[in-house]
Amino acid sequence: MRTYLVTGGAGFIGSNFVHYMFRKYGDEIRIINVDALTYAGNLANLKDFEGKENYTFVKADIRDKAAITKIFEENDIDRVVNFAAESHVDRSIANPEVFVETNVLGTLVMLNAAKQAWENEDGSFKEGKRFLHVSTDEVYGSLENPEDYFYETTPYDPHSPYSASKASSDFIVKAYVDTYHFPAFITNCSNNYGPYQFPEKLIPLIINNALSGKKLPVYGDGKNVRDWLYVDDHCKGIDMVLENGRLGEKYNIGGHNEKQNIEIIHIILDTLKEYLPDSDPRKANVSEDLITYVTDRKGHDRRYAIAPDKIKAELGWEPETCFAEGIKKTIKWYLENLDWMTNITSGDYQQYYEKMYKDR
Ligand SMILES: NC(=O)c1ccc[n+]([C@@H]2O[C@H](COP(=O)([O-])OP(=O)(O)OC[C@H]3O[C@@H](n4cnc5c(N)ncnc54)[C@H](O)[C@@H]3O)[C@@H](O)[C@H]2O)c1
């Protein structure tokens, strides 16, 4: 039975990954989820797995060398998937320090703990061990020419403290590959969307605000372009890289689905109007009049666009969910899980944690 150590598994993509992997492999795998439960971590995302024999949650910080080393000492870990990070660009502009601490130094702690556990006396590594560092397309900077795309060979040019911290962590992982032949991969993915995303990010924020008749803030002219991928397609890519990727390589993951922010907002409003029955009082709130242009984000990158040619050619990865279908699925999920949204925005999930894990 393969054992996965997933960091940041209580966050958006990490929790979707745990769901994806148990759906795909069932009881053939074991997952240890290590998460510090910052504001972005939510154990309610994983309540389906509580009490499951092959699932363990450990509350720990990836910067905590002793705690992370102990997990490696007590478990024979086969795969590490490092999602844990501070992930919101606006927060990185307000408070860069924690981004460097978690994203760079935390990744270093993870690498060292895995290296110590997996390295043989002669400097080689135990068979079959794999470390995958989850990164972002934002490390490549901003594209001006509409025909340009980010390739794995595109030079890094990060602009925000967030993307600079992710770029730094990628370089540290690469250094471990180049220096020690450490068995790692880096994946650089475009913007994800789907269930369990914290409502500070564009899509859940717009859904939540529109339902309650709050303003829909749009940065600048609303024409910044992001490349959107349904979160399960990202999870599928990570699994494929872990099992069949070439060790030491980096892979871009993205679905050629570029959209301006303002387009996304209109799609959400149209879909909400379509889904909400006339009898639902929230339907009256959903209106284009809520769109409010606000001062642009500092250093706002104009366009990101991933070329996923390498992962397609080498591993046969393709996105399965087109945007038209994915956004409908996503909006439906938020409409059906209003309690989740209410709890996460009211801080109740902190109490949930206390209740579930206080005495463990
Ligand atoms: N969301 C996207 O669109 C996107 C796109 C590409 C790459 N990524 C990358 O994917 C990863 C996951 O992103 P996400 O959107 O799920 O983020 P998220 O903010 O939703 O979740 C991050 C998780 O990490 C945990 N965490 C934070 N600091 C920690 C620490 N010091 N120790 C242990 N756990 C800690 C949080 O509690 C949370 O559960 C990140 O590395 C991010 O850079 C995200």
pLDDT tens, position by position, 335-349: 999 999 988 887 665
- Rounded to an integer, the average pLDDT of 94-117 is 98
Averaged confidence pLDDT in the chain: 95
- State which ligand 1 atom lies nearest to the alpha carbon of 137: 6
Measured from the Cα of 39, ligand 1's closest atom is 37
Q: What are phi and psi of 136, to 5 degrees?
A: -130, 160
Question: By percentage, how much of the chain surpasses pLDDT 90?
Answer: 91
Helical spans, DSSP H, in 26-88: 65-74
How do strand 216-219 and strand 79-82 relate by DSSP bridges? unpaired
Residue 243's Cβ-count burial label (10 Å; 0-12, 13-18, 19+) is exposed
Query: Does the CB atom of residue 12 touch ligand 1 within 6 A?
Result: yes
Give residue 20's pLDDT.
Answer: 98
pLDDT value at position 101? Answer: 98
Please state the domain extents for the chain: 2-197+228-257+300-323
| Model confidence pLDDT, tens digit, residues 200-259 | 899 999 999 999 999 999 999 999 999 999 999 999 999 999 999 999 999 999 999 999
Looking at residue 314, its pLDDT comes to 98
pLDDT at 344: 84
Ligand 1 center to 10 CA (angstroms): 9
Nearest to 230 by CA among 178, 169, 189: 189
pLDDT number for residue 351? 65
* Beta strands in 106-215, from DSSP E residues, in sequence order: 130-136, 184-189, 191-193
Q: How confident is residue 7, by pLDDT bands cut at 50, 70 and 90?
A: very high
For residue 40 and ligand 1, the question of a CB distance below 6 A is answered with: yes
> At the fourth CATH level, which superfamily is domain 2-197+228-257+300-323?
NAD(P)-binding Rossmann-like Domain (3.40.50.720)
- Give CA–CA dist 95/41, Å, rounded: 18
Residue 241 CA: distances (Å) to CA of 20, 34, 318, 343, 346 = 15, 21, 13, 35, 37
Are 357 and 57 in contact by the 8 Å Cβ rule? The answer is yes
141-180 pLDDT tens trace: 999 999 999 999 999 999 999 999 999 999 999 999 999 9
- The residue-averaged pLDDT of 295-322 equals 95
**pLDDT value of position 187:** 98
Instruction: Report which ligand 1 atom has the smallest distance to the Cα of 9.
Output: 39
Q: Please state, for a pLDDT cut of 70, what percent of the chain lies above it.
A: 96
Provide the pLDDT confidence category of residue 54 given band limits of 50, 70 and 90: very high
Distance, CA 101 to ligand 1 centroid (Å)? 14
Using CA atoms, how far apart are residues 280 and 284, in angstroms rounded to an integer?
A: 8
Ligand 1 centre and the CA of 297: distance in Å?
A: 21
Which pLDDT does position 343 carry in this prediction?
87
CB distance 82 to ligand 1 below 6 Å: no
| Ligand 1 centroid from CA 120, angstroms | 31
Give the model's pLDDT for residue 299.
Answer: 86
91: CA distance to ligand 1 center in Å? 13
Looking at ligand 1, which residue's alpha carbon is closest to its atom 18?
A: 11
Q: Is 189 in the pocket of ligand 1 (CB under 6 A)?
A: yes
Q: In which band, very low, low, confident or very high, does the pLDDT at 67 lie, cut at 50, 70 and 90?
A: very high
Does ligand 1 come within 6 angstroms of the Cβ of 275?
no
pLDDT category of residue 352 using cuts at 50, 70 and 90: low
CB atoms within 10 A of CB 334: 21
Residue 139, ligand 1, Cβ within 6 A: no
Q: What's the rounded Cα separation, in Å, for the pair 257 and 326?
A: 11
Q: String of b and e for 14-31 (b: at least 16 CB within 10 Å)?
A: bbbbbbbbbeebeeebbb
At 28, the pLDDT band (50, 70, 90 cuts) reads very high
Output the pLDDT for position 354: 66
Ligand 1 neighbour 192 (Cβ under 6 A): yes
Q: Residue 113: which H helix or E strand, with range?
A: helix 107-118
Question: Measuring from atom 9 of ligand 1, which residue has the nearest CA?
Answer: 135
Catalytically active residues are 137-138, 162
